[in-house]
Chains A and B, each alone.
Chain A
């Protein structure tokens, strides 16, 4: 009954999960109806108004054995089908096409073996894909509902996820593990392409293939984008949840430090401080505590590059 509502199924894993679902839900529905109907029948049949004299029945060992035994068999079959379905997700052919995934608040990044880097996942159809995934900050979870698969993406360890897409098309990728402010906006797409189109793109210089499905923004190569800064800071002066980077350097502004207002001029030292300890000072009019501490996200070299990138936006 859930399948009427479910999103399209676009892989073998999806079919496996759906058939386990049908099995468990059918058995459960029978049990639920059995329990409910019996209960309502008893309430009417043995209603006090009918004046039956109640009979004290203390139990019946055979009934107990039956309703422990049959459910045991039922749940063991459910376990078995669930396990077999799971196996289809975890059996990875040796020739699987590997893509490395980096997750950060609140952005996905896909790194191909030939150095290509995208924020949308492009894969060839009917080819086993192996995603090796790691987070640079908090826990995330890469979830593709159309394939019925997900796996958490965690800092300090590499988790993997595998699938073979059977149909070309574009499907949602969501973050399923709560990761803070913009968790619900951490969506991207997986684009499944015909083999030859994929190869053509993969071997070309282009970052974005010739499909009309998605546009990868121009700044995708810059560190500002890779590190997730542009999720909250715009590059064109428009207001997002944090101040824009445009014209930031040298600008005068009012910040709150320990609750008191201070006038400052944005210089390199200020930028360095507010990247590494973003919550020590907050620009007036913006919410404190939203920006993740970047201490663990950036090395010195990257910090310098980011500051010069912001500088160049004047």
Chain B
């Protein structure tokens, strides 16, 4: 809020609340989408850090063959919890709940989401689900040890707290559904005057596509979880072969949700990439419609490929080749996005600030993740690599290298907008470089181990894998250090950072047309949209606007 800007006469959303309370209550009872986004940011980051610590402990255990710091049962619960926390508590809600909440209304020129109270309820449901996960750790029976896939019959036989832990996933599903519902309505009903569908920023397109998957796919996992709980409690016999059930049916139902869920995780990240590249190349996006429609194509075709997780389960050979073919088809729209992003750098004016560096790192890591997905989509190679470290490496490149990288990219891009402060650019650059090195050290050896025949979810391993396991473990330490640098930089900057300029990167989408941090109802008056989203000729006008 430098001299003479419009914001001078307005209070930011930190200073003005939607309710009559002050302090912590004004946050816990808020219906402001920006405050709710920040509530999510704090809770989701807390669980992310827990997941990282669990991952580092697992890697430490694997530094040498045989028991090192824990017993097999502990290891089995660790990889289950690492999966459950990272997937259900971090990466599925991550980008939509934090950045979707904060920026969707801002980017379409709305005062809030369509259902602000429902939005707050969604956060409470998330918190309740998270608390249920935590309770399941400490009740007699012990933490769940089934793997995050909860495959039957093991999940019916296990005496650990399976029912409570999966019930938590059921509850979290409702948070996801309600958030999706809220976003779809908001996009349809609350765009500012002049913002037609093809003037929406691409982040909105990706959040919109994601929201549809959240609404349509999540109920399937909800029903499946209830059936597993009934199976455990009453021995119904739907999935359990000992009671005449079919364990393969469980796998179908599980992946009918969980494969589209992969796109819930990655689509919003792709949307953020489509925001960051034009801003730092200061030119319009290349192939706007191709990128927008590829989001929808991914959301649609993503429903039809679930059985590629089951190529070795004994499904018919015909089903195997059909799902293999469809899996290759779903790779195409992701390729289209990558090509259009790189083309957007052509004849731009590129200023590689930290958010852009995160995107460059994303493009390399996500491409490796996507291309190794082709290896797994192909039948012959998948039969060999299914359930090995190759798969573990592949999905960490896509999920952590893809979505995780952009989680930080989004945080570094929008940090000045969210907090009105600027972080240390130097330390941010260092953390991107360290992240890239640590990431490849941590996960690339897993591709090699997988091809050598190292199965996943192994507490112990054959001696020939020792060297590669050690490299990976050292990578996990470097990754831990990188995380400390990232969070230290950001937390320090929230408290003591320099004031950020209103529009530090020169962005032109609507969130940059208001103060940083924005006022309670986002805009002084609802803007009328007269430009396409990435028209940088506005930058000159915007400077005049604020003088």
Chains A and B come from one and the same complex:
yes
Q: Is A259 an interface residue (CB 8 A)?
A: yes
Complex Cα distance, B325 from A179, in Å, reads 30
Which of B152-160, B263-271, B399-407, B480-488 touches A?
B152-160
Q: Which residues of B contact A3 (CB under 8 A)?
A: 451
Q: Is B497 in contact with chain A by the CB < 8 A criterion?
A: no
Contact B247 A57 (CB under 8 A): no
Which one of A38, A85, A180 has the highest number of Cβ atoms from chain B below 10 Å of its Cβ? A180
> Which of A56, A60, A156 has the largest number of chain B CB atoms within 10 A?
A56
Q: Does A314 touch B at the CB level, under 8 Å?
A: no
Interface string of B438-467 (1 = CB under 8 A from A): 000000000110011101111111100000
Q: What's the interface size class on B, roughly?
A: 35 or more
Q: Are A39 and B360 in contact (CB under 8 A)?
A: yes
Contact partners of B456 in chain A: CB under 8 A = 176, 178
Q: Give the residue among A53, A86, A290 with the most B Cβ atoms within 10 A.
A: A86
- Which of A21, A46, A145 contacts B346, CB < 8 Å? A46
Q: Which residues of chain A are near B16, meaning CB under 8 Å?
A: none
- Contact yes or no, B383 A148, CB < 8 A: yes
Summarize A's interface: helix, strand, loop or mixed: mixed
Whether a CB of chain A sits under 8 angstroms from the CB of B42 is no
Query: Given the complex, which residues of A lie within 8 Å of B536, measured CB to CB?
Result: 54, 56
A176 to B158, CA, bound (A): 18
CA distance A174 to B387 in the complex (A): 11
A2, B451: Cβ atoms closer than 8 Å: yes
Q: Which chain B residues lie closer than 8 Å to A279 at the CB level?
A: 159
- Chain A residues near B383 (CB, 8 Å)? 17, 86, 89, 148-151
Nearest chain B CB to A302 CB, angstrom units:
15
Q: Which residues of B (298-324) have their CB < 8 Å from a CB of A? A: 312-314, 317, 320-321, 324
Is B171 an interface position by the 8 A CB rule?
no
Q: Mark A255-298, 1 if CB is under 8 A from B, else 0.
A: 00001000000000000000000010000000111101101100
Checking A28, A43, A177, A182 against B72 with a beta-carbon cut-off of 8 angstroms, the contacting residue is A182
Question: How far, in angstroms, from A290 to B462 measured CA to CA in the complex?
Answer: 23
Contact A58:B288 (CB < 8 A) given known A24-B375, A47-B350, A86-B383: yes
In contact, B457 and A151 (Cβ under 8 angstroms): no
With CB as the reference atom, state the residue of chain A lying closest to B80.
A178
* A32-B76 CB under 8 A given contacts A43-B352, A59-B286, A86-B383: no
Contacts A35-B367, A82-B324 given; indicate if A54 touches B349 (C-beta within 8 A). yes
Residues of B within 8 A of A295 (CB): 242
Asked if A17 and B350 sit within 8 Å, CB to CB, the answer is: no
Cβ of B78 to closest chain A Cβ, rounded Å:
13
Count of chain A residues near B, Cβ 8 A: 94
B147 with A178: CB separation less than 8 A: yes
Contact B386 A176, beta carbon cutoff 8 Å: yes
Contacts of A172 in B (CB 8 A): 453, 462
Nearest A-chain residue to B347, judged by Cβ:
A55
B384 near A52: Cβ-Cβ < 8 Å: no
Cβ of B542 to closest chain A Cβ, rounded Å: 16
Chain A residues positioned under 8 Å from B248 (CB to CB): 154, 157
- A-side interface residues toward B, CB under 8 Å? 2-3, 5-7, 16-17, 20-21, 24-25, 28, 31-32, 35-36, 38-40, 42-43, 46-48, 51-60, 63-64, 67-68, 71-72, 75-76, 78-79, 81-86, 88-90, 137-139, 141, 143, 145-146, 148-152, 154-157, 159, 172, 174-185, 187, 259, 279, 287-290, 292-293, 295-296
Interface residues of B (CB under 8 A from A): 72-73, 76, 140-142, 145-147, 151, 153-154, 157-160, 241-242, 244, 246-248, 281-284, 286-290, 312-314, 317, 320-321, 324-325, 328-329, 331-332, 335-336, 338-340, 342-343, 345-352, 360, 363-364, 367-368, 371-372, 374-375, 377-384, 386-388, 447-448, 451-453, 455-462, 535-536
- Extra A-B contacts (20), CB below 8 Å, given A64-B290, A148-B380, A184-B72: A5-B452, A20-B381, A28-B374, A31-B371, A35-B339, A35-B342, A47-B352, A58-B284, A58-B288, A59-B286, A59-B287, A59-B289, A76-B328, A79-B377, A84-B380, A85-B381, A180-B157, A180-B158, A183-B457, A289-B159
